[in-house]
Amino acid sequence: MLEVKDLHVTVEGKEILKGLSLTVKAGEVHAIMGPNGAGKSTLSAVIAGKEGYEVTSGTITFEGQDVLEMEIEERALAGMLLGFQYPVEIPGVKNIYLLKAALNAQRAANGQADIPAPEFMKLIKSKIAEMKMDASFLQRAVNEGFSGGEKKRNEILQMLVLQPKLAMLDEIDSGLDIDAMRIVADGVNSLRAADRGILLVTHYQRLLDYIIPDHVHVLVDGRIAKSGDKELAKELESRGYDWVVEETAA
Amino acid sequence: MASQEMEQLVRREYKEGFVTDIESDTIPPGLDEGTIAFISQKKGEPEWMLEWRLKAYHQWLKMTPPSWAHLDYPAIDYQAISYFSAPKRPEDGPQSLDEVDPKLLETYEKLGIPLHERAALAGVAVDAVFDSVSVTTTFKEKLGEAGVIFCSISEAIRDYPELIKQYLGTVVPVADNYFAALNSAVFTDGSFVFVPEGVTCPMELSTYFRINAANTGQFERTLIICESRAQVSYLEGCTAPQRDENQLHAAVVELVALEDAYIKYSTVQNWYPGDEDGKGGIYNFVTKRGDCRGDRSRISWTQVETGSAITWKYPSCVLRGKDSIGEFYSVAVTNGRQQADTGTKMIHIGEGTRSYIVSKGISAGRSNQSYRGLVKIGPRAKGARNFTQCDSLLIGDQCGAHTFPYQEIGNSTATVEHEATTSKIGEDQLFYCQSRGISEEDAVSMIVNGFCKDVFQELPMEFAVEAEALLNVTLEGAVG
């Protein structure tokens, strides 16, 4: 589904990713872990198409399409969706309006008409219940005045509505208390499906107690230094990142 | 987004603009007593009105144009302007929509203007527009039953001289400012509304106005009077693009609210802003003032300003009556080389008076925009309150936004609050929306409309929808 090959990325002249390769197949959950500054968030940002990241070499393909040639919205419409670590506030724009616009953009790309209002309301109601969110969220401006936990739940809500083929979640656990983390993790787990890939970027192992990954990759200095299964995450939890860093240097 | 790319995309042409030939018995350019006498005679005015105009003219001669505004334009040659053109005859206009520029019709479509209004707006001969004629007749009957007078200012001068004598120039005195004095001397067009005591005008005076007075004049004069406990909602202008041969526009609007009266005045202004270099755009110098003369009266200005090369406009309220309320809600959008210096004045005279100002400025391209607001609280205005919120949104990095708030507080019991923000349309916000599959253009319009929401919700319902569409058309291509 997603294939990243020998990806080199610079930000403001500094090389952040130095030859990263990664393959995500449908039905798999991959966790990208690593020390701060290793380039974890850069990977998902580049896949989503954020400005300011220069790909100097390497390729990203998604279902055979050259991702780097696609506009930001085309990537989303192709089925790649990024859940933000710090979702931005958009004053005056109702949450429900953004959701509807995004869903209709997706439908338009698939040659479908706009979703009828009753059908949309029914869909939204079931999804907000799933995320244990109050209906009043829909009428509030996007992320405005939301707590950290509310923002993250809102990101997952969007995923549940838009049903991406590849869900990328950037540090979705940061700033969450344990209850919020459970809700967010439940939401992510409900996204698990045979035809969907999930890419989790996280610094801490604790999220992986709730979302069990199929593959764990440790990112050190712009490259994947080590890959394994969920046991690797546990090892990182007890031993920290230093040993991987040392192993890489050796 | 690279600024170069942004700059390229910001350049858009006023594709909605169109030029129609103006056929009229225009008098030669120039202004003297003879010109004014000609206008007064053409309009069939009584002697006292001519004297009133001449008095204004003599005051104007002694005045100089204001130079304090944050605007840059060449000096205007007032002798090069033609001050009178007779109204167009129906047979000279297009006879059906088939003769109207399809591009214009496309814009009407984009703006969501109802079908039956499009023909009238495009200047199609009224006889050919059966729908709107019948609509108009129904309106007239309804207003008449309620006792509301709604006619052109020229008719009012002939038919209601006592009301005109009593109220005209009492809110904006003839020598109030340079442009108001000029308007007083030469105005040729405009509306008159009188809502008698206790009457709530049975309809928004918008739809009617849009159908019948789409061809507005260069020097408009509007006077609206609400007697005690009367109410009216008036809508001026139109989202449909308007182009005019006359570059200089200097309108005067006077509102008078007596005890417990409420006047809501909404404006949508979409004059031709000029080409890429700002050439040929309309200069719009407007004096708008409301007088809350009676206790507990309320005047509310709502404006959406998207057009003109130059905008100089400060709809104001004089809060004379005890516990009277003045409101100003404004969205001003500038793109290309447009310049706008706009804001409001709230003059608190009476006890317990309150004013509320919400100003949203959006600058794109190489445009420049200033908010200029005065809150003045007089010594007798015990317990007066003002709240001002003034937000600017910048699109691209070659535009400017400026805020000039003035406060003159002559009373220690007053409460004055001012909040101001300036933000760039966030690339983070754009990226967020786009990464949800929403196109950049839709994302910009979503963000901008969100920014303007506080003001749009003050507009009459059906107009708010059009205003949103207008904003999108105005900012089309403002961002890649």
The rounded distance, in Å, linking the Cα atoms of B378 and B347 is: 8
Q: Determine the residue of chain A that is closest to B441 in CA distance.
A: A73
Q: Does A231 touch chain B (CB under 8 A)?
A: no
Q: How many CB atoms lie within 10 A of CB A10?
A: 15
Q: Determine the residue of chain B that is closest to A79 in CA distance.
A: B437
The rounded distance, in Å, linking the Cα atoms of B172 and B384 is: 23
Summarised one tens digit per residue, pLDDT across range B18-55 is: 333 333 456 778 888 888 998 888 888 999 999 999 99
The predicted model gives B257-271 an average pLDDT of 91
pLDDT category at A242 given cuts 50, 70, 90 is confident
Q: Is the pLDDT of residue A37 over 50?
A: yes
Summarised one tens digit per residue, pLDDT across range B301-340 is: 999 888 788 888 999 999 999 999 999 999 988 888 888 8
Q: How many CB atoms lie within 10 A of CB B32?
A: 11
Residues B7, B395 contacting (CB under 8 angstroms):
no
Q: Does A97 touch chain B (CB under 8 A)?
A: yes
Q: Which residues pair with A31 in a beta bridge?
A: A200, A216
C-beta atoms of B437 and A88 within 8 A = no
User: What are the Cα distances from residue A96, in Å, to A135, A137, A148?
Assistant: 10, 8, 19
Residue-level pLDDT at B203: 83
Of B18, B10, B54, give the one whose Cα is nearest residue B33.
Answer: B54
More confident residue, A165 or B459: A165
Q: Is the pLDDT of residue B275 over 80?
A: no
Single-letter residue type at A40 = K
C-beta atoms of B431 and A51 within 8 A = yes
Per the prediction, chain B carries an average pLDDT of: 81
C-beta atoms of A105 and B1 within 8 A = no
Q: Is the pLDDT of residue B357 over 60?
A: yes
* Three-class SS of chain A: CEEEEEEEEEECCEEEEEEEEEEECCCCEEEEECCCCCCHHHHHHHHHCCCCEEEEEEEEEECCEEHHHCCHHHHHHHCEEEECCCCCCEEEEEHHHHHHHHHHHHHHHCCCCCCCHHHHHHHHHHHHHHCCCCCHHHHCEECCCCCHHHHHHHHHHHHHHHCCCEEEEECCCCCCCHHHHHHHHHHHHHHCCCCCEEEEECCCHHHHHCCCCCEEEEEECCEEEEEECHHHHHHHHHHCCHHHHHHHHC
The predicted model gives A139-156 an average pLDDT of 91
Residue-level pLDDT at B365: 83
Domain ranges in chain A?
A: 2-249
Residue-level pLDDT at B368: 87
* Three-class SS of chain B: CCHHHHHHHHCCCCCCCCCCCCCCCCCCCCCCHHHHHHHHHHCCCCHHHHHHHHHHHHHHHCCCCCCCCCCCCCCCCHHHCCCCCCCCCHHHCCCCHHHCCHHHHHHHHHHCCCHHHHHHHCCCCHHHCHHHHHHHHHHHHHHHHHCCEEEEHHHHHHHCHHHHHHHCCCCCCCCCCHHHHHHHHHCCECEEEEECCCCECCCCCCHHHHHHCCCCCCCEEEEEEECCCCEEEEEEECCCCECCCCCEECCEEEEEECCCCEEEEEEEECECCCCCCCCCCCEEEEEEEEEECCCCCEEEEEEEECCCCEEEECCEEEECCCCCEEEEEEEEEECCCCEEEEEEEEEECCCCCEEEEEEEEEECCCCEEEEEEEEEECCCCCCCEEEEEEEEEECCCCCEEEEEEEEEECCCCCEEEEEEEEEECCHHHHHHHHCCCCCHHHHHHHHHHHHCHHHHCCCCHHHHHHHHHHHHHHCCCCCC
Axis-axis angle for helices B427-434, B440-451 (nearest 10): 120
User: How far from the centroid of its chain's Cα atoms is residue B476's Cα?
Assistant: 22
Angle at A103 between CA A101 and CA A104, to 5 degrees: 65
| Residues of chain A contacting B442 with CB distance shorter than 8 Å | 101, 105
Size of interface A-B (CB pairs under 8 A): 78
Residue-level pLDDT at B244: 57
Residue-level pLDDT at B269: 79
The predicted model gives B429-445 an average pLDDT of 91
Of B171, B301, B320, give the one whose Cα is nearest residue B259.
Answer: B320
Q: Which residue reads 């004089």 in tokens? A: B318
Task: Assign domain A2-249 to its CATH superfamily.
Answer: P-loop containing nucleotide triphosphate hydrolases (3.40.50.300)
Work out whether strand A14-24 and strand A2-11 pair parallel, antiparallel, or are unpaired: antiparallel
Task: Give the pair of three-digit tokens for residue B181.
Answer: 């004095």
Least confident of A118-132, B107-121, B328-342, B385-399: B107-121
The predicted model gives B470-478 an average pLDDT of 72
More confident residue, A199 or B133: A199
Highest mean pLDDT among A182-196, B68-82, B226-240: A182-196
pLDDT category at B103 given cuts 50, 70, 90 is low
Residue-level pLDDT at B119: 65
The rounded distance, in Å, linking the Cα atoms of B194 and B156 is: 10
pLDDT category at B385 given cuts 50, 70, 90 is very high
pLDDT category at B79 given cuts 50, 70, 90 is confident
Residue-level pLDDT at B214: 39
Residue-level pLDDT at B129: 37
pLDDT category at B425 given cuts 50, 70, 90 is confident
pLDDT category at B71 given cuts 50, 70, 90 is confident
Summarised one tens digit per residue, pLDDT across range B285-302 is: 899 999 999 999 999 999
Q: Is the pLDDT of residue B267 over 50?
A: yes
The predicted model gives B414-427 an average pLDDT of 83
| Residues of chain A contacting B439 with CB distance shorter than 8 Å | 73, 105
Residue-level pLDDT at B212: 39
Highest mean pLDDT among A17-31, B85-99, B237-251, B332-346: A17-31
Residue-level pLDDT at A190: 93
Q: Does A106 touch chain B (CB under 8 A)?
A: yes
Q: Is the pLDDT of residue A10 over 70?
A: yes
Least confident of A90-94, B134-138, B166-170: B134-138
Residue-level pLDDT at B131: 40
Residue-level pLDDT at B15: 37
Residues B198, B162 contacting (CB under 8 angstroms):
no
Q: How many CB atoms lie within 10 A of CB A192?
A: 16
C-beta atoms of A88 and B450 within 8 A = no
Q: Which of A50, A71, A158 sits opposite B436 (nearest CB)?
A: A158
Q: Does A211 touch chain B (CB under 8 A)?
A: no
Q: Which of A51, A91, A158 sits opposite B1 (nearest CB)?
A: A51
More confident residue, A184 or B90: A184
Q: Provide, rounded to the nearest whole percent, the portion of chain B with pLDDT above 70.
A: 78
The rounded distance, in Å, linking the Cα atoms of A235 and B399 is: 54
Q: Which of A75, A76, A92 sits opposite B453 (nearest CB)?
A: A92
Task: Give the pair of three-digit tokens for residue B133.
Answer: 């004629």
Q: Is the pLDDT of residue B8 over 50?
A: no
Task: Give the pair of three-digit tokens for residue B106.
Answer: 């496309």
Residues B229, B197 contacting (CB under 8 angstroms):
yes
Residue-level pLDDT at B132: 40
